[in-house]
Structure 1
Amino acid sequence: MILNGVPWFDDRGEVVNAHGACLVDHEGRYYLFGEHKTDDVNRFDGVGCWSSADLEHWTFERVVLPVQPDGPLGPDRVGERPKVMRCPATGRFVMYVHADDLGYTDPLVAVATCDTVAGEYRWHGPLVHQGEPVRRWDIGAFQDDDGTGYLLVHEGDVYRLGDDYLTAEEKVAENLAPGGESPAMWRSDDGYHLLMSRKTSWERNDNEVLTAPSVHGPWRHAGLLAPEGTLTHNSQCSFVARVRRGDDVVPMYLGDRWSFPHQASAATQVWLPLLTDGGPARLGEYWPAWDPATGEPVPLDRDAAGAVAAVDAPFRSAGPGDRLEVDLEGARFAVVGTSDDESGYARVELLDDGRVETSHLVDFYSKVPDTGPRYVSPVLPAGRWTLRVTPTGEVPTWSQKDGTRFGSTGSRVTVHRVLVLA
């Protein structure tokens, strides 16, 4: 099952650190590409790649595009929103990355290629349109059913790529969504759907949808992607993936739940079925857990045989000196708590006979209050464990260049109960 809003773990037991991501289905396996974020300065640390057969169990492949010795993707630069498509004309995999300086004053769209999906990608240079580099930032990519590739950029500009995907041949749409960023596109039987976030820094917002009968338009605004006020289920769109379900291929929304400043350790994903039947693309209700094979929610507090064991563990504190400890028996555990705009970070640990075996930073902040799973552990050896939750006292907050403040007003951590999932 897919778990939303909690850390994911790969075959090494490490957090899947892939953001601004895309998903490529190649030879019966899914490949997840994303920003390999850091927990200090928002600098380029490479593009990571993970693979999965079922969208639940992830194998770390490698950092497929490392920091370059110099140039636009060199040290102390920004590298964001990697998007990968396989070019039908050449068979090569082509990656696009927004490259920039740390002050976001030197943007361009960088291009890298590889002969294999998860090999090391070779940096080519900037994507060029009419002989000049495309100096844009928030980017997306879309491959149409006929193999035509498109680059999507902030404000709602769309470029058609050349046959080899290495140049931007034609600007087919311009300024479709003033003030928009983080574009993603999907084609359904009803036409084309363009998803755009608003510009609210790392904060979430109500993402919008545009529709058209053709990539060339005419485009029209078609409302919000998710119910108003949910802030797109506390996420920002990054990609729409094609996912196999039986004999069908269905769209799936990929969104980021950013966690500034601890993006590497505490930012999470929100993946949900995208609904497009008979109208604009939409997200239905939020599901903390769901089965991509059926497209149905999975209640975490129950399994096929009945109720999952639950331990009441009421805890509410903002003090870094306080802690919750619960003795448990099992192999996998979930912490159920409340996130809101007065909450901060907690360190969640699992101890075996006093020894810390797992330790993860968990973000309890959200502008829209939510009660649900805040943490689901990796699968551990079955036995007796002590689960420890410790508030760090840190307030998740940040400011834009104009001084606008975003984030929490406090560092509270609220836990209600612990579930024994296995």
Structure 2
Amino acid sequence: MQYTSIRPGQVWLDTNGNRIQAHGGSIMAIGDTFYWYGENKEKTRPDNGIWHWGVRCYTSKDLYNWEDRGLIIPPEPDDPSSPIHPSKCMDRPHILYNRFTKKYVCWLKIMEKDGTQTETVLTASDILGPYTMVHRGLRPLGMSAGDFDLVCDPVDGKAYYYFERVHSELICADLTDDYTNVTGYYSTHFPLVQPPFVREAPAHFLRRGKHYLFTSGTTGYHPNPSEIACADTYHGPWTLLGDPHPFDTSRTSYNSQITSVFKHPGKKDLYIALADRWIPNLPTEGSEDFASGAQSRHTQTLFEYMFNPDPEIRQKCPVPFTAYDESLSHPNTSIADYVWLPIRFDGDIPYLSWEDEWRTEDFA
């Protein structure tokens, strides 16, 4: 099938006719080619013990039609101790190109069975690999590090690492010159007590000298209202601007979670929010409760009580935990879809409006 547009939330096939598997992904432009990489979930099914099957990459000339270039970081199924064993919860690969070392540097979030979250860092001379592991079990700043984004300043090449200090706050840390570790200098932002309030899935972009950061609440795979914040520097301070999905009555960020923002290099002001739709059937399952936002509020209340440090309060949750809630906590991520939308601006305020279909050609 030949695509001529982006169709958010619809099944997206590669040039071989297979579902694209690049979840929690990002895009990098190299020359006239776009590289889209992310988690490969092709073998993942609820409760089959396979969280991922490596990091997959696709290439395109138009952002519509994507050629499968295979696994750039394959799993290591024969080594249960490996951080990229298929059973390990590997999420959100991010790659930066270091113009000083001439290396591509990839960071992977690894969630261990005990709940500890660490980073695995790999490098390669080509974005398609092969990658060599340089760090495993890395605890940046001695912290349990969750969802993250990597950012490189376009002028001086200095790099930054935004991550969720698990169930606590958001951290911005300076990276070392080779981008494989943190220097020790960092700043803290959005300190919050517990899920669902804690901010995760940071996605940074820079526009006209302003720094912007999308974040998500913490409700597992169930989507929730995003937030957008702005600042004058990488380290803030950040000013909250509200939910960037102001027209979404379901309070689920159009049933998606933003993973990164891509600035189109051939367009003057086209920034694309890349998001995963982890539970495509959520509107059908939720019925009117989904459209009104009632299902989202129900889930957020569950998480508020489930993660309360006081056991007596945890027992007093005003909404019941149902079989429906359990099914949503273990979705079939192999059939997750993608929601790509152009970021609109009201002055300096970014927002996302729903588009059934859109084309990059419509932007100058």
TM-score band (shorter)? 0.7 to 0.9
The 5 A counterparts of 1:170-249 are: 170-176=184-190, 178=192, 179-227=198-246, 229-230=249-250, 231-246=252-267, 248=268
Contact (CA 8 Å) 2:139, 2:145: kept in 1 or not?
Answer: no
Partner Cα separation in structure 1 for residue 144 and residue 218 of structure 2: 18
Partner of 2:342: 273
Shift of 1:126: 3.5
Structure number, greater radius of gyration: 1
Higher relative contact order (CA 8 A, sep 6+): 2
Partner Cα separation in structure 1 for residue 260 and residue 17 of structure 2: 25
Partner of 2:132: 122
Q: Root-mean-square deviation (CA), in Å?
A: 2.1
Partner Cα separation in structure 1 for residue 277 and residue 86 of structure 2: 26
Partner of 1:386: none
Partner of 1:347: none
Residue number among 71, 78, 94 corresponding to 2:105 in the alignment:
94
Shift of 1:75: 4.3
Partner of 1:72: 83
Q: TM-score, normalised by structure 1?
A: 0.65
Alpha-carbon spacing, 1:295–1:206, altered in 2? closer, same or farther (3 Å):
farther
Contact (CA 8 Å) 1:210, 1:280: kept in 2 or not?
Answer: no
Q: TM-score, normalised by structure 2?
A: 0.75
Identity of aligned residues (%): 25
Question: Match of 1:137, SS?
Answer: strand
Shift of 1:250: 2.7
Shift of 1:105: 1.5
Contact (CA 8 Å) 2:14, 2:20: kept in 1 or not?
Answer: yes
Contact (CA 8 Å) 2:38, 2:92: kept in 1 or not?
Answer: yes
| Residues paired across the two proteins, number | 291
Unaligned ranges ≥5, structure 2: 193-197, 280-329
Partner Cα separation in structure 1 for residue 139 and residue 86 of structure 2: 26
Q: Deviations over 1:271-296 (max 9, x none)?
A: 1111346323221x201211023249
2:260 paired with 1:252: no
Specify which structure has the higher proportion of strand.
1
Shift of 1:242: 1.6
Divergent runs of 4+, >6 A: none
The 5 A counterparts of 1:4-403 are: 4-37=8-41, 38-41=44-47, 43-68=51-76, 69=79, 70-101=81-112, 103=113, 105-126=115-136, 135-146=144-155, 147-154=157-164, 155-176=169-190, 178=192, 179-227=198-246, 229-230=249-250, 231-246=252-267, 248=268, 250-259=270-279, 260-264=330-334, 266-276=335-345, 278-283=347-352, 285-295=353-363
Q: Deviations over 1:125-173 (max 9, x none)?
A: 148578x665312112222222221111123211111111011114432
Partner Cα separation in structure 1 for residue 29 and residue 265 of structure 2: 9
Unaligned ranges ≥5, structure 1: 297-422
Question: Match of 2:254, SS?
Answer: helix
Contact (CA 8 Å) 1:129, 1:167: kept in 2 or not?
Answer: no
Partner Cα separation in structure 2 for residue 44 and residue 104 of structure 1: 18
